[in-house]
Amino acid sequence: MRPGLRHFFNSMTEYFADPAGLERLRAAHPGWEAPDSRVALYGEFVQAHVREVVEKLYPLVKAVVGAERWEVLVKGYFPTRPARHFEMNQAGESFPAYVADVTADQGLPEFLPALARFEWADWAVYASEERVPERVERLTVNPTLAVLQHPYRLCAYVRSKAAAPAPAAGDEMALLWRHPRQLNTWFMAAHDRALLVLKMAVEGFAVADVAAATGAAEQDVRRAVDECVADGLILTP
């Protein structure tokens, strides 16, 4: 990138992080005679879009903290994580990390960073560019699968739309994937049957081999596979 163009982008990045600092932008580009009102419009435009994106991606975080503390969160997010990606929703990718940085100082609930990570994963899985094959030769893990580990029962909490004041405590492995037919994000707390079927798909174990190794009935192993296939977690020939 040419030095002049890099200078322009760097100065605009600083400006979009804090549109109130218009004088810094003026100082970086002497002789720029555009009216203040017109230049300010660009900064307001970018912040409005970032706000809309964050509110769309993190509705449960917003519901948990309430309107007043949400305003503080969003205003603090702009200068620390300026929007750079051409795809608008990517402006919200860094929000969970930002929430983790400020949770203690702002006295926010301890589970909030984990909830923000969950909400981002929900979107990222839905929008994943991973191609789900139409045909497979053997049991195959859905390539959109994402795995989150946290010390809260977030799956039940998210499913309830944050009906309780906080999620129950307890280690949880959350599985999130895009359903290959319904094309929306599905999620669940990992349990033994799902983990067994995932292991079968990753390591290429057959139903009969698993039944012999574990002492389980073949029909029970096959039922577990069928459940995962129906949920779209596993793809089958």
Contact 189, 174 (CB under 8 A): yes
Residue 44: per-residue pLDDT: 64
pLDDT given at position 20:
67
- 204 and 198 Cβ atoms separated by less than 8 Å: no
pLDDT value of position 177: 98
Instruction: Say if residues 121 and 95 touch (Cβ distance below 8 Å).
Output: no
Please tell me the predicted confidence (pLDDT) of residue 83. 64
Look at residue 7 in the predicted model and tell me its pLDDT. Answer: 78
Model-level pTM?
Answer: 0.84
- Over its length of 237 residues, how does the chain's per-residue pLDDT go in tens digits? 777 778 777 776 777 666 666 777 777 878 777 777 766 666 665 777 788 999 999 999 999 999 999 999 998 998 776 666 677 888 899 999 999 999 999 999 999 999 999 999 999 999 999 999 999 999 999 999 999 999 999 999 999 999 999 999 999 999 999 999 999 999 999 999 999 999 999 999 999 999 999 899 999 999 999 999 999 999 999
Hey, CA dihedral for 14, 18, 23, 25, is it positive or negative?
Answer: positive
> Domain coordinates of the chain in residue numbers?
1-108, 128-237
Q: What letters, b where the CB count within 10 A reaches 16 and e where it falls short, cover 139-175?
A: bbbbebbbebebebbbbbbbeeebeeeebeeeebebb
pLDDT of residue 34: 72
pLDDT of residue 21: 67
| pLDDT for the residue numbered 82 | 62
- The CATH T-level fold of domain 128-237 is Outer Surface Protein A; domain 3 (3.90.930)
